[in-house]
A and B are shown apart, each in its own frame.
Chain A
Amino acid sequence: MPDYDPLTISDEELKKLPPAERGAVYKARSAARAAGGGAAATAAPRPAAAGGNGQTTAAAAPAPGAAPTQGAAPTQGAAPTQGAPAPAQGAAATGTPAAAAPAQGAAAPAAPAAAASATPAAAPPAAKPAPPKEPEKPKEPPFVQHILESIPDSTFQWRHGYAELKVPRVRLLEAAQALKADGFDYLSFVTEVDWQDRLEMIYHLFAYDYRAQPLGAILRCDLPRDGMPEVASLTSVWPGAEFMEREAYEMMGIRFLGHPDLRRILLPDDFVGFPMRRDYQTDYEYITVKQLAHESD
């Protein structure tokens, strides 16, 4: 039997527990909350019956807070979700920290009122563990946390159900290796966008073992726009990037360092300029000369 009480254990202690025991704590808490919530709805006969038992009061006190929590959780969880499985779990967990904070505020004025009817000495311990402080359910999947922890200045958001990570240019290769280690062995698409003030590389990643890793990830990094910006080639991580990076090289003018064979792939050898940049001007003389040469053949 565990040497802690699932209803009063602090978050720090909870984090140290093995996952199986943590699951048991969540279950015990939700059971207590369900019992307390039902009691609160029916004009709270439960705390009265419990009398001086601070423990039960603690479990029941969050009940008023729990109702708004459930209302708040979908808005918090649903924004990034859009069909992604992992965030859906976040929405199912009722006590995410942001939602629990107002619950604590709501419970605090209620607690003295409850304490006034009981002994005043019982009030502080009752108010302290009042909101069922679920340990923060990881909003981000683990692979995102790895990147956010190891790479400073990296940002994260959900986009259409994919986890989108933005890293500084110099750390791109490192982030790619970390994602590959977390199961993203399928580089689906390399694309590049000219935002007029900067260029951006965008890599869409998935896992061939989709049962183990159903999520998709988007890795992005900004590049300066002047000249031919340089960025690390990801062919060492995913060799399938080879042709797509060659296309980015000739269409957008991005130089990939460490690419095994960086040369043109689609355009003629004497073509000048990077046609997919927004400020590209069509060279009509080039087209005319090509046409004349073609006709004289």
Chain B
Amino acid sequence: MVDTLIPGLGPALGPELGDTIFEEPGEIGVVDEESLITLNLGPQHPSTHGVFRLIMQLQGETVIGAIPVMGYLHRSSEKLGEVRTYVQGTVLTDRMDYLSPITTNWAYALAIERLSGLVVPERAEYLRVITGELSRIQSHLVAIGTFGMDVGTYGTPLLYALRERESVLDLLALPTGVRMNPSYIRYGGVARDAPPEFFPQLERFLRIFPSKIDEYEAILSANEVFRNRTINVGMIPPEVARAYSVTGPILRASGVDYDVRRAEPYSIYDRFDWDVPVRYNGDCFDRYMIRIQEMRQSTRILLQALDAIPEGDIRAKLPKVLKPPKGEAYARIEGPKGEIGFYLVSDGTANPYRYNVRPPSFVNLTCLSQISVGHKLADAVVILGSFDIVMGEVDR
């Protein structure tokens, strides 16, 4: 039997016709066919963070069902990866999570190193940690800035966050050479060494950055409107988060203490003294707070890495064209959005036989419709904002 692949809308996720729902506290409404509204949120809506579409079924303002539709940004990166060489594949990873390209580079490089047994020099490991944590900060800054926009704090927090993001991008431009899509972390090491002026500039930034985080907290965490819009909204219980393979800040906001940097320390993360922030309510506010706290922890890691970085090589001895031995490898790292995994199969030639990505945003979206059901439409937008998705990564 050959499948006809007829697209459908899938099963209803929320209450069925005739069920009773709570419209307002104390007021009970009945789901009936006449008052059901189907609403397209997106794909060109500013609150969808790219081209993401949610087909919402509404009863009044209450969400009865939410069906995510994606693929508008699909560029067949995985198929392209199979016909490119290993070093060309790095460029494809930049375009996945374009807010934090260096972490995706890193996962890809780790998979190749596991495949071919390359050993990365010490200085390169430190440069990886420094640039990786800087891009985590940069990604979280965009996340909390745009999240403020979703909640309704026009402009100010986003501009504050983008101000620091500019500093981070300027800093990252020193070792990588460019502001966006750097392809910096490559198999066997990093692309270029950091110039000497990079380290004092980074230290100056790290000294002022905690006070900037305090500014965001003053303007967002202490804001009554912000708190009312986010606290107890979109709560993900820990058992739901575990069942749906959720990772990253969303998972840790639900009270599950899991960070790949701790669970399976890659690179040199076992040398630093830092904490995994965990919060227990699992709502949108906790997801926001986890990102704030992770930026503080990244600052801690960066300061220690800055003190300890040694001199030396930045690249292992590499052949002109890398042909890893036959085999397969899975490598995973903790990206800003969650666990980024790369599964590579080598058949002994210069191209990967299989090039497969585990995008954290894509997997985290699995539980979105379950979480949105029962909330108001405006809250569904807040929940989507708190998930911090990047469509380049979801669609690849």
Contacts and interface: CB of A to CB of B under 8 A. Distances in A.
A17 B246 CA distance: 42
Nearest to B395: A266
A210 B258 contact: yes
Interface string B297-336: 0000000000000000000000000000000111010000
Interface in B126-150: none
B8 interface: yes
Interface string B331-356: 01000000101010100000001101
Given A239-B243, A241-B245, A261-B10, A204 B70 contact: no
A156 interface: no
A127 interface: no
B343 A189 contact: yes
Contacts of A204: 330, 341, 343
B163 interface: no
A72 B252 CA distance: 44
Contact of B79 (A191, A263, A265, A276): A276
B354 A227 contact: no
B71 A266 contact: yes
Interface stretch (A43-51, A139-147, A267-275): A267-275
A5 B162 CA distance: 73
Interface in A5-22: none
Interface residues of B, number: 45
Interface residues of A, number: 42
B45 interface: no
A72 B258 CA distance: 38
A188 B245 contact: yes
B10 A263 contact: yes
Contact of B3 (A216, A228, A238, A240): A228
Contacts of A242: 366
Given A243-B362, A243-B365, A265-B70, A188 B395 contact: no
Interface in B54-102: 70-71, 74, 76, 78-79
Nearest to B353: A193
Interface of A: 159-160, 162, 185-189, 191, 193-194, 202, 204, 206, 208, 210, 214, 216, 218, 227-228, 238-244, 250-251, 255, 260-261, 263-269, 275-276
Given A228-B2, A243-B366, 7 more contacts: A187-B245, A188-B245, A188-B358, A204-B343, A210-B264, A238-B245, A240-B367
30 contacts: A160-B114, A187-B245, A188-B341, A189-B343, A189-B356, A191-B354, A191-B356, A193-B328, A204-B330, A204-B343, A206-B263, A206-B264, A208-B251, A208-B258, A210-B262, A210-B264, A214-B263, A228-B2, A238-B245, A239-B244, A240-B244, A240-B245, A240-B367, A241-B245, A243-B363, A244-B362, A251-B78, A260-B11, A263-B5, A266-B396
